[in-house]
Amino acid sequence: MTIFDLAAADPASPAWNDIWQQSCHQGTCDPASAALLPWLAQTCASFTPRSREQAMCLAGFIAVDATDADRAVHAGDIATLRALATECLPTASSDEMFVHLQQAVLGLDGDEVWGKELDRVLDGEVDVECPECGEETLVDLTDPAISPGLSSPVAVRVHAEAVGAGRDAVATAVTRLFGRTRCPDCDADVPLVSPEPG
């Protein structure tokens, strides 16, 4: 049996780790991995929402790093995978997995920023560069000096999903990541992350 046969037969199979390692390296997926999208769509459809979580995360990373041509070729499979990932959100196994699944959906949507970086919500801190003076500061997301906000459509969307799913801690963290603070050097009002279109 190939690793794909083993993985398809069991969502908890160690074969999934091998597929991850062959597909993605240091946060970037080989564009050739886009060829796995049809297999992932077919395989994950046979798994329960809870058991397909890790595979959905892999699909999101593969899709966001796929070329535009491959995304067009596999548009139907990407749409199927997006629906499967969205179906996982209400029953996500943890707050952390909920964020990873949201990130996967954004990756399947082709969001090249938050399809890779939404999990910054989980880091607890963020590097912020002041656009006025260039001062760089590591900001703790629990810092009471942060003015919570939702500075982009993506922020509004993921916050609404978290609220709707009863993930209050995630919703709060999103408002803080997409909030504002004061530069400790020049006192300018600074967004923690750059607002992204879309």
Sorted by where each begins, the domain ranges of the chain are 1-113, 123-198
This prediction has a pTM of 0.92
Residue pLDDT, tens place only, 142-174: 999 999 999 889 999 999 999 999 999 999 999
More confident residue, 195 or 78: 78
Residue pLDDT, tens place only, 68-109: 999 999 999 999 999 999 999 999 999 999 999 999 999 999
- Count other Cβ atoms within 10 Å, centred on residue 53: 23
Kindly give, in sequence order, each residue whose CB lies less than 8 Å from that of residue 154, ignoring residues fewer than 6 positions away.
Answer: 106, 111, 114, 196, 198
- Count other Cβ atoms within 10 Å, centred on residue 76: 11
Nearest by Cα to 100 from 120, 79, 83, 70: 120
The two three-digit tokens of residue 62, written as one number: 């593969």
How far is 178 from 150, CA to CA, in rounded Å?
5
Q: Residue 196 — pLDDT band, cuts 50, 70, 90? A: low
**Alpha carbon 59 to its chain's center:** 11
pLDDT for 24 beyond 90: no
